[in-house]
Amino acid sequence: MEYYDFLEAAFLGIVEGLTEFLPVSSTGHLLLIGHFLGFESNGKSFEVLIQLGAILAILTVYSAKIWQLAHNFTKDRRTRRFVYGILLAFLPAAFIGAFAHSFIKTVLFETPMLICIMLIIGGFILLWVDRLNLRPRYHDVMDYSLPTCLKIGFCQCLAMIPGVSRSGATIVGALFLGADKRSAAEFSFFLAMPTMAGAFGYDLFKNRNTLEMDDITIIVIGFIMAFISGVFVVKHLLNYVSRHGFALFGWWRLIVGTAGMAALLVWG
């Protein structure tokens, strides 16, 4: 393995951590950048497995909140409803992801033009949603009803198309279901924990016989960088979206999607 491979893995890890919780599609960014860099991971596992770093970033920043939920679970009905809501929201992606895993990896992950198109469409949707005068009825993630959580979970399934964005799909879905911007983003954080942990475990199991030591080395490097950059985003994103909304991310998606499409048309 060359030194250049380590630099690529570190750079992609930083990109993963910075984009995982933003509504811009971390997987779309990783696949596009990897395409133009010529970066190839065994079974496209690198792009999935380094998400463990982002998971640990949430656990680190939200450790006190998670401990409080665990402590109050048996004593507080509101806490139990929230935990059950997160698990309920996770189920649609778990079933569809397991059923369509091969198609996602071998077809959708290998279609960079599709990723660009989804980035652009998602950008327009974010800009549109950000200008709507929605009247939220939920201002705290602890108050989401179980049917609302399940509906958000189905919205998350759209993110199996790279370029859509897991956080973007869940946030937009939550906004239309009555959440305010801050609680929608926070719910996306919590839903990311079982979703990414499940994707990590399933992908590791599916590729357990094909991963080599070189693969593990670059995954570890990407994981570490994803953790460091992910902590930064988790700490600051909620305050940002509360004050400024999602317009910046919509414009970013349009720029990246358009630039990627132009590059594909020119260089292939």
Residue-wise pLDDT for 76-125, tens only, equals 999 999 999 999 999 999 999 888 888 988 888 889 999 999 999 999 99
Confidence band for 43, pLDDT divided at 50, 70 and 90 = low
Average pLDDT over residues 13-42: 88
DSSP string for residues in 162-174? TTS-HHHHHHHHH
Structure tokens at 90: 């996770």
The answer to whether 234 touches 61, Cβ cutoff 8 Å, is yes
Q: What is the pLDDT of residue 118?
A: 96
Q: Say whether pLDDT at 141 is over 60.
A: yes
Please state the domain count of the chain: 1
Whole-prediction pTM: 0.89
Q: What is the pLDDT of residue 265?
A: 93
Which residues is 179 bridged to in the sheet? 138
Average pLDDT over residues 233-257: 90
Task: State pLDDT tens for residues 160-174.
Answer: 999 999 999 999 999
The closest alpha carbon to 13, from 235, 232, 249, belongs to 232
Q: Provide the residue range defining the domain that includes 215.
A: 3-267
Confidence band for 2, pLDDT divided at 50, 70 and 90 = low
Q: Which residues contact 129 (CB under 8 A, 6 or more apart)?
A: 172, 175, 176, 246
The answer to whether 15 touches 30, Cβ cutoff 8 Å, is yes
CA atoms of 21 and 51, how far apart (whole Å):
11
Q: Say whether pLDDT at 4 is over 80.
A: no
**Which residue has better confidence, 262 or 235?**
262
Confidence band for 1, pLDDT divided at 50, 70 and 90 = low
Q: DSSP 3-state assignment of 50?
A: coil
Q: Which residues contact 41 (CB under 8 A, 6 or more apart)?
A: 34, 47, 215, 218
Q: Say whether pLDDT at 238 is over 90.
A: no
Confidence band for 50, pLDDT divided at 50, 70 and 90 = confident
Structure tokens at 70: 């665990």
Percent of the chain with pLDDT over 90: 55
Average pLDDT over residues 9-23: 90
Average pLDDT over residues 178-198: 92
Q: Which residues contact 265 (CB under 8 A, 6 or more apart)?
A: none
With the C-alpha atoms ordered 192, 197, 202, 208, is the resulting torsion angle positive or negative?
positive
Structure tokens at 183: 């609680």
- H or E segment and range at residue 29: helix 26-37
Q: Say whether pLDDT at 67 is over 90.
A: yes
Q: Say whether pLDDT at 68 is over 70.
A: yes
Mean per-residue pLDDT over the chain, rounded: 89
